[in-house]
Amino acid sequence: MKNTMIDKKNKKLSLVNKFSLTIFGLIIALTMMWFLFYTNMNRLLNRYVTSNLEHVSEQIILEMEPSLLEMEEIAFELSANKSVIAFLTEDETVDFVDKAGAVDTLIQRLSRETSFPRNTIVYNTVGDFFRFEGTLKNTSIKKLIREIERNGLNSHIQISLENTEYIGYISIIYDGTTKVGTSVMLVEESAIHRVFSQAAYKEDVKVALSADDRIVISSDKVLLGQGTDEMTHSTPFVVSKRIGFTPFEIVVIYENANRAIRLWFIGSLAVLAAVLLIILSSFIYFWRRNFFVPIQAVISGVENLDMSEGEEIPLTGLEHFDGLVKGINETIARVEQKEKEIYEARLFLHEAELTKQKALIVSLKKQISAHFTVNVLSIIKALSANGENEKAGILCDGLSFLLRYANAGDSFISVMDEFFVLQKYVDIMEVRYPGRFTVDIDVVDELDEIIIPRMLLQPIVENSIVHGIIESEDYNIGNIKVYCIIQEKLLTIVVEDDGKGMDDEKINRLIEQIKSVDENTTEVEGLSHVALINIQRRIISYFGKQYGLTVESQKGKGTKVTVCMPLNKNVI
Amino acid sequence: MKNKHIVKYYLFLLVLLCIIGGLVFFVGKEKREKKITVTIALMQDPWVENYETNLYTKWLEEKTGYNIDFVYFTEGYEAEYLNAMLIPENGTVDAVFLQDDSTVLSAEIFDEYCNAGYICDISQFVTENSNIYALKNQVATGDGEIYYAPNIRAGKKYENAQITWINFEWLKKLSLQIPETTDDLREVLIAFKDLDPNRNGKADELPMITNNVDSSFQSELFLSNAFGDNSETYWEYRNYLYNENLLSLTCGGFSRKQLQELINSPDDVIGVFCSRSILDLVYPSSTDVISRYVAVPPLTGPDGEKRATKSIPAISIGGYIPANAEHKQEAVEIMDLMLSTEGSIFAAYGEENIDWRNSKPGEKSAYGEKAIISVINDSFYGVQNKHFRGAGPSNLPARYVDNVFWSESSAYAQYVDARAIRLYEEYYD
């Protein structure tokens, strides 16, 4: 027993623990998801965007920077080299070419990292030029020189030569403070575009080369001409790198990052929603299966109980709830048992009461019968002694009738029969007390159908005759009236006399006694009121406390006894 | 209840399909990624856009089934690179490709490496039906060892040793004719020197130049052919030219770039020069300079004969395999494929029907013969990503060099060369 209780207790705890754990787990999962989503998403996205940006920019810088730096290095070397100055200041063509040899060696030595084919032209102030790299024709070179000199360009140039777009790095060569020449290193813009397109394979990544803080080449034409400072400030995801001391800067822009982030956000939100849905579905499924469904089964089982004998709520198949179900079933069984016991006890009590009532009636009947019989026999004796045998015979017949009536088995008789019996009694009493009273019994045909408890009225009439009239000091003829008031559900029988009545004290005492009567009342005060008390008790025991008799009396005026009971019609 | 089972069933099926699909993909990916990668070293040509994505590379990969990676050595550091590459026990390079005019590795140095065992004898990987085997007589050593896959330059332009070019503008200005004899040449050179044919008021003209960078630049060869075996007369003639500054030695030590700049200079200071092709020293885009010069046919010498020098088709090292290479067999297969006619055409001209096509009837080559292929887009000059621009093994048959119809920009120079060669070929000795 103890182990079962402990097991049950443990089972209850584990269900609670399970619920607590799952709730706890759910809260943790939700908190973690929130944490991941809100606190890390932006950071991850930013990092992703930034890492993408850095990756692309690194790739481009790795591809382009060496070539551009090499150009810077060559330009620097050319600007400070005596051989170059000697070459540039030579005005004889053959000697110019001859001295270019040393410069060529210098440039070749510095040219290692070229990833772009290059045209390197150096020219002097009179326009003599030497193509150290590349094979542009003379007219193209002259056009280039003209463009540089006319516009006073000294950092970079963009020019179209021989149907090819070039971008060039310009460096002025000085001998002291005197300009002696210019070096120009041209790179095909298409080569740069190729690098851009290889690196910026994503549409959102824009790559550009700026010169003197203006975008001059870009994977997106929209960016051309824009200032790099302006772009750096207006766009959140920008990586830029200036190439040494050249005027060039590589700029990588991650445009539409917000769109990318939004896309990631929406995608992540969708994933999060899906995960959340799965978790919640699992949670709901688990608890539905392990709690709500079995609980509902138990509730339905209880609701559907029709309390027929032996009926039980079916088991749920789950350990936690089967204990409850078994408990409920046991409780039902115990309740059934208790109800049965209560019913049997009530039945017993009722039967005991009935037995008691019957006994009382029997005793009453016997009491009444014994008292009355003695009196009448006395009268009969007296009459017989006086030779009034006819009257004695009437009394014998009457008594015989009354005794048979009092000992009859039925508890209820019709009012008509009760009145008949009452008349017989009155006849006897008239013999006993001739000329002292009259009894007027109001009989109507309807009374034959109405039943009342046996021996209800005789004691009342006896009281009226004996106590109200015979015992009165006034020897006037007393009048007794007996009549019924028939209502739909109520029968009222009234016995009123104009006898001596009772004083206030007496009547109040009687009324109190009558009021205090219930079905268990056994003690009565004073023999004269036994009948009324017993009648009240009988009425209460048959019909309940809302019925009974009432007494009204006034000294010297008479007494009125009213008996109320439900209207019962004979159903036989 | 039934619906629940059906949903579970389909979910299970979906998961199973995803697992199977994933396995197939990754197994396939793993299989794909297990392709052999052959690493090739070469000098990066800035006119080749990207060796990894080059169309020729893709073609080689497709045909052989191997991946090809490239590593680059820098001009000027070839010797150091070779040492670093060849000496270690386990090499990282499977083959080395050289330019057709490369000076990276002299024959002597190459032989030394071969003798020292640093270069792989690929004859063990060569089958009898291979392209390398077909060239065995040209590339194998006396012992039958093959240490390289060749780059063979065949065709009339490679057979001709030299063409002499004369400044036709100057001739016109001086009302002179193209010289036919050695005496004519002398007179023309004197006129070039004294009469300021470039009309700049300066005596800056170089009547005739010679250079030692390439044998074809040596004007002495052209002059000596006129005299044949009469060397004494030749030397006398030559010395006269030297002494009178008619044949300038000033440019003797110039680099090719210096020669080019001199010849292409707008100052127009060069009267006569020699080269195998006009494009050897004149820039392809400088059509004004190309048109400035015309070929001088072989001169008639004192003996009344004309002579021209015919070259043996040059065979240079196209590619070789280090002895410490990991994938020797695969590298041989690649080089062998490059030596095929199909590979050599691809390497020379690029993509069929994009850069070249089969010639139509009526199309003639620069030599006036029926053309076999027609070049649509000359991809050799300018940045391109169709071929290696002459690097690596190649064996383009002469007919695919000579019987070519040139249809655009470089056509002029090709026809100029062809016309010049036709002037010389009948006089090959």
User: CB count, 10 Å around CB of A505?
Assistant: 9
* Nearest chain A Cα distance for residue B107, angstroms: 24
Which residue type sits at B225?
A: N
Q: Are B202 and B187 in contact (CB under 8 A)?
A: no
For residue A101, give the nearest of B258, B269, B288 by CB distance. B258
Q: With an 8 Å Cβ cutoff, is A419 touching chain B?
A: no
ipTM over 0.95: no
Local confidence band at A313 (pLDDT 50, 70, 90 cut-offs): confident
Cβ of B258 within 8 Å of Cβ of A98? The answer is: yes
* Nearest chain A Cα distance for residue B272, angstroms: 15
Look at A472-476, A490-494, B349-353 and tell me which has the smallest mean pLDDT: A472-476
For residue B261, give the nearest of A100, A188, A190 by CB distance. A100
Average pLDDT, chain A: 83
Q: Are B251 and B257 in contact (CB under 8 A)?
A: no
| Bridge partner residues of B364 (DSSP) | B370
Round to whole Å and give the CA distance between A372 and A378: 10
Q: With an 8 Å Cβ cutoff, is B410 touching chain A?
A: no
Q: With an 8 Å Cβ cutoff, is A316 touching chain B?
A: no
Question: Model-level pTM?
Answer: 0.63
Local confidence band at B340 (pLDDT 50, 70, 90 cut-offs): very high
Residue A198 exposed, middle or buried by CB count within 10 Å (0-12, 13-18, 19+): middle
Q: Which residues of B touch A93 (CB under 8 A)?
A: 204, 262, 265, 267, 269
Q: With an 8 Å Cβ cutoff, is A97 touching chain B?
A: yes
Cβ of B204 within 8 Å of Cβ of A94? The answer is: yes
Cβ of A97 within 8 Å of Cβ of B261? The answer is: yes
Cβ of B46 within 8 Å of Cβ of A101? The answer is: no
Cβ of A94 within 8 Å of Cβ of B251? The answer is: yes
Structure tokens at A44: 């991850």
| Bridge partner residues of A401 (DSSP) | none
Round to whole Å and give the CA distance between A198 and A192: 10
Residue A405: pLDDT over 80: no
Residue B31: pLDDT over 60: no
In 3-state terms, what secondary structure has residue A207?
Answer: strand
Residue B125: pLDDT over 80: yes
Which residue type sits at B383?
A: V
Provide the residue count of chain A. Answer: 572
Q: Are B217 and B274 in contact (CB under 8 A)?
A: yes
Q: With an 8 Å Cβ cutoff, is B200 touching chain A?
A: no
* Nearest chain A Cα distance for residue B153, angstroms: 24
Q: Which residues of B touch A142 (CB under 8 A)?
A: 266
Structure tokens at A380: 């009969």
Please report how the helices B182-194 and B219-227 are oriented relative to each other, as an axis angle in degrees rounded to 10.
Answer: 140
Local confidence band at A572 (pLDDT 50, 70, 90 cut-offs): very low
Cα–Cα nearest to B66, from B337, B247, B360: B337
Residues 6+ apart with CB under 8 A from B113: B82, B86, B119
DSSP state of B324: T
Q: Which of A91, A94, A293 to mutate to test the interface with B (most CBs of B within 10 A)?
A: A94
Sheet holding B163-167, edge to edge: B247-248, B206-209, B270-275, B163-167, B293-296
Q: With an 8 Å Cβ cutoff, is B291 touching chain A?
A: no
At A141-162, the pLDDT tens digits run 999 999 999 999 999 999 999 9
pLDDT, greater one: A88 or A297 = A88
Cβ of B204 within 8 Å of Cβ of A98? The answer is: no
Residue A391: pLDDT over 50: yes
Q: Which of B257, B269, B380 to mutate to test the interface with A (most CBs of A within 10 A)?
A: B257
* Nearest chain A Cα distance for residue B362, angstroms: 31
Q: With an 8 Å Cβ cutoff, is B67 touching chain A?
A: no
Classify each residue of B136-146 as buried b or exposed e, where b means 16 or more C-beta atoms within 10 Å of its C-beta. Answer: eeebbeeeeeb
> What is residue A48's predicted lDDT score, i.e. its pLDDT?
67
DSSP state of A163: T
At A115-137, the pLDDT tens digits run 677 899 999 999 999 999 989 99
> What is residue A526's predicted lDDT score, i.e. its pLDDT?
46
* Residue B129 phi, psi (nearest 5): -95, 10
Local confidence band at A527 (pLDDT 50, 70, 90 cut-offs): very low
DSSP state of B391: -
Cβ of B46 within 8 Å of Cβ of A139? The answer is: no
User: CB count, 10 Å around CB of B17?
Assistant: 10
Q: With an 8 Å Cβ cutoff, is A116 touching chain B?
A: yes
Question: Among residues 157-196 of chain A, which lie with CB inside 8 Å of chain B?
Answer: 162, 188, 190-191, 194
Q: Which residues of A touch B383 (CB under 8 A)?
A: 117, 188, 190-191
At B264-304, the pLDDT tens digits run 999 999 999 999 999 999 998 899 999 999 999 999 999 89
Look at A182-191, A467-476, B389-398 and tell me which has the smallest mean pLDDT: A467-476
Cβ of B76 within 8 Å of Cβ of A100? The answer is: no
Round to whole Å and give the CA distance between B399 and B378: 17
Cβ of A101 within 8 Å of Cβ of B254? The answer is: yes
Please report how the helices A41-79 and A93-110 are oriented relative to each other, as an axis angle in degrees rounded to 10.
Answer: 150
> What is residue A367's predicted lDDT score, i.e. its pLDDT?
52
Nearest residue on chain B to A138, alpha-carbon basis:
B266
Cβ of B46 within 8 Å of Cβ of A117? The answer is: yes
Local confidence band at A13 (pLDDT 50, 70, 90 cut-offs): low
Q: Are B297 and B421 in contact (CB under 8 A)?
A: no
Round to whole Å and give the CA distance between B198 and B212: 26
Cβ of B285 within 8 Å of Cβ of A162? The answer is: yes
Local confidence band at B165 (pLDDT 50, 70, 90 cut-offs): very high
Q: With an 8 Å Cβ cutoff, is B7 touching chain A?
A: no
- Furthest C-alpha separation in chain A: 202
Local confidence band at A260 (pLDDT 50, 70, 90 cut-offs): low
User: CB count, 10 Å around CB of A344?
Assistant: 10
For residue B261, give the nearest of A108, A131, A162 by CB distance. A131
Q: Which residues of A touch B204 (CB under 8 A)?
A: 92-94
Round to whole Å and give the CA distance between A362 and A367: 8
* Nearest chain B Cα distance for residue A122, angstroms: 12
User: Tokens 């009234």 belong to which residue?
Assistant: A494
> What is residue A231's predicted lDDT score, i.e. its pLDDT?
77
Round to whole Å and give the CA distance between A210 and A90: 36
Nearest residue on chain B to A193, alpha-carbon basis:
B49
Residue B429: pLDDT over 80: no
> What is residue A358's predicted lDDT score, i.e. its pLDDT?
66
Q: With an 8 Å Cβ cutoff, is B208 touching chain A?
A: no
Cβ of B76 within 8 Å of Cβ of A109? The answer is: yes
User: CB count, 10 Å around CB of B243?
Assistant: 9
Q: With an 8 Å Cβ cutoff, is B245 touching chain A?
A: no
Round to whole Å and give the CA distance between A148 and A169: 11
Cα–Cα nearest to B383, from B48, B99, B51: B48
Cβ of B285 within 8 Å of Cβ of A194? The answer is: no
Q: Are A199 and A180 in contact (CB under 8 A)?
A: no
> What is residue B292's predicted lDDT score, i.e. its pLDDT?
94
Q: What does the pLDDT average to over B44-70?
A: 91
Cβ of A97 within 8 Å of Cβ of B262? The answer is: yes
Q: With an 8 Å Cβ cutoff, is A94 touching chain B?
A: yes
Round to whole Å and give the CA distance between A89 and A84: 8
Q: With an 8 Å Cβ cutoff, is A135 touching chain B?
A: yes
Residue A198: pLDDT over 70: yes
> What is residue A8's predicted lDDT score, i.e. its pLDDT?
52
> What is residue A305's predicted lDDT score, i.e. its pLDDT?
80
> What is residue A200's predicted lDDT score, i.e. its pLDDT?
66
Q: Which of B73, B261, B273, B384 to mutate to test the interface with A (most CBs of A within 10 A)?
A: B261
Q: Which residues of B touch A112 (CB under 8 A)?
A: 74-76
pLDDT, greater one: A199 or A27 = A27
Local confidence band at A47 (pLDDT 50, 70, 90 cut-offs): low
pLDDT, greater one: A522 or A338 = A338
> What is residue A361's predicted lDDT score, i.e. its pLDDT?
63
Q: Which residues of A touch B267 (CB under 8 A)?
A: 93, 128
Question: Among residues 317-376 of chain B, which lie with CB inside 8 Å of chain A?
Answer: none
Which ranges in A217-256 belong to alpha helices (H)? 228-234
In 3-state terms, what secondary structure has residue A446?
Answer: helix
* Strand boundaries in A231-303, DSSP class E: 238-242, 248-254
Question: Among residues 102-121 of chain B, which lie with CB inside 8 Å of chain A?
Answer: none
In 3-state terms, what secondary structure has residue B423?
Answer: helix
Q: Which residues of B touch A104 (CB under 8 A)?
A: 255, 257-258
Round to whole Å and give the CA distance between A283 and A236: 42
User: CB count, 10 Å around CB of B24?
Assistant: 10
| Bridge partner residues of A564 (DSSP) | A492, A548
Sheet holding A248-254, edge to edge: A214-218, A205-211, A248-254, A238-242
A81-87: which pairs have CB atoms within 8 A and are 24 or more residues apart? A81/A106, A84/A122, A84/A173, A84/A181, A85/A173, A85/A175, A85/A180, A85/A181, A87/A122, A87/A130
Structure tokens at B56: 């020729």
Q: Which residues of B touch A191 (CB under 8 A)?
A: 49, 383
Provide the residue count of chain B. Answer: 429
Q: Which residues of B touch A163 (CB under 8 A)?
A: none
Cβ of B286 within 8 Å of Cβ of A131? The answer is: no
Cβ of B383 within 8 Å of Cβ of A188? The answer is: yes
> What is residue A525's predicted lDDT score, i.e. its pLDDT?
46
